[in-house]
Amino acid sequence: MKLQIYILTRLAAGVGAALAVILAVIMLVDLVELARTVGGRGDVAFDDLLGLTLLKTPSIALLLAPFAFLFGSMGAFVTLNRRSELTAMRAAGVSAWRFLLPSALAAFLFGIMVVTALNPAAAFLNARFEERRAWIAAGGGPATTPDIWLRQGAPEGQIVIHAKRRDTDNGDVTLKTVSIFIQTVSQTGDVDFTRRIDAAQAVLAPGYWRLSDVREARPGSESVRSDTLALPTTLDRRSAMERFVAPGAVAFWNFPATVRAAERAGFSSAAYRLRYQQLLATPLLFAAMTLLAAAFSLRLLRLGDVARVAAAGIGLGFLVFFLGQVCGAFGTTEVIPVPLAAWTPPLLALLGAVTLLCHTEDG
């Protein structure tokens, strides 16, 4: 047990150091980029730019965590190898599987914690980052975004909402210069336009849109004006805001509801389903990266070429990342099934690592 705890401690230190170095570099690059894009305003202080960078940091950390496990684990195992600690373990008859399996299990459990706890927090901070950046870019007033499109399900069919801009002052979702197109969908899938509503403003309230300065028109009839109008909606503030962000900004626990809402509104939910499956596969990916690092780091120093083998392991890690991007592109367009696109890279990495370890340890 002491041996496993010692190895896990060394691995945790290696992964933490690797993540700290990677994050420091990425944060510096992001800070410079924000200073170039947002910091051009004379009233933007360095504290604002640093705050924006810190809000974005958790999302970056989750994205780079597999590389941290690869580089950190590889560094820890190479260090143990250079100190001849691995040689002493093998001379004492200790199999590599005795400390590799607990290491992989620890990485798997940490992946579960990342997905279930850290991912929702990172998604919330990323949403705050987008709102804060838009607020600063708007000069400290309500943040605006041009040309907003929304679509929601309705009992009679679908509702398509177009607005010139979106205000998010005080946490409210307010659309300006709004055009709403209400359509019916037949059992055969045919879509028929039924009416159009134009409004100067639409404020999202619980269960409905509150429209102001409204003009409503139906095919073959004159338009009707009214001061206010309530239009039922299935959207709330969270789901409405998620229409404006990438699937990566949706929290893990919100994906099932987001997928159902997107499908009910007639959207393709492939991107959301893909991201959800990728998050489910994250613990397996962390375990695979840990074993992959071990497979390329346990080579005895007396056999030589340790640096070359370690470089090959890093290259294979980047290959897994590239494969994940390619499969993700195919999964988003549904060229291949979404679960296959999400689970193929970690499964291949795990199978490759186990194969190499079996060849190294068991001949």
CA 108 to chain centre: 18
H or E segment to which residue 178 belongs: strand 174-185
Q: Tell me the two tokens of residue 296.
A: 């390329």
Strand order in the sheet with 157-167: 146-154, 157-167, 174-185, 191-205, 208-217, 224-232
CATH, domain range 146-243: 2.60.450
Distance CA(336)–CA(8), nearest Å, equals: 38
Alpha-carbon Rg for the chain, nearest whole angstrom, is 26
CA distance 66 to 58: 14
- Report the distance separating Cα 100 and Cα 294, nearest Å: 8
The residue whose two tokens read 């944060």 is 27
Task: Give CA–CA dist 49/38, Å, rounded.
Answer: 8
Spell out the long-range contacts of 355-360 with Cβ–Cβ below 8 A and sequence spacing 24 or more: 356/292, 356/295, 356/296, 357/96, 357/97, 357/100, 357/291, 357/294, 357/295, 357/298, 360/96, 360/295, 360/298, 360/299
Dist CA 224 CA 195 (whole Å): 11
Going from N- to C-terminal start, the domains of the chain cover 2-138+271-362, 146-243
Nearest to 262 by CA among 231, 235, 237, 280: 235
Quote the pLDDT of residue 240: 62
Residue 139: its pLDDT value, please?
56
pLDDT in the model for residue 54: 87
Amino acid at 124: F
**Phi then psi for 228, rounded to 5 degrees?**
-140, 160
Residue with tokens 């801009």: 165
Helix 270-280 crosses helix 306-332 at what angle (to 10 degrees)? 150
pTM score, whole prediction: 0.73
Listing DSSP states for 189-234 in one string gives --EEEEEEEEEEEEEEETTEEEEEEEEEE-TTS--EEEEEEEEE-S
Angle at 272 between CA 268 and CA 275, to 5 degrees: 145
- Tokens 């994250």: give the residue: 282
- pLDDT per position in the chain (363 positions), as tens? 777 888 889 899 989 999 899 888 888 888 888 877 765 555 677 788 888 888 888 888 888 899 899 988 888 888 887 777 777 877 777 777 888 888 899 999 999 999 999 999 888 888 788 777 767 765 554 544 556 777 776 666 778 888 876 655 455 678 888 888 888 776 666 667 788 899 988 888 888 888 999 998 888 778 888 888 888 887 766 666 555 556 777 889 888 888 887 776 556 788 889 999 999 999 999 999 999 888 877 765 545 566 676 677 778 888 888 898 899 889 888 889 999 999 999 999 999 888 888 877 665
What is residue 244's three-state secondary structure? coil
Beta bridge partners of 161: 150, 180
Residue 221 is predicted with a pLDDT of 78
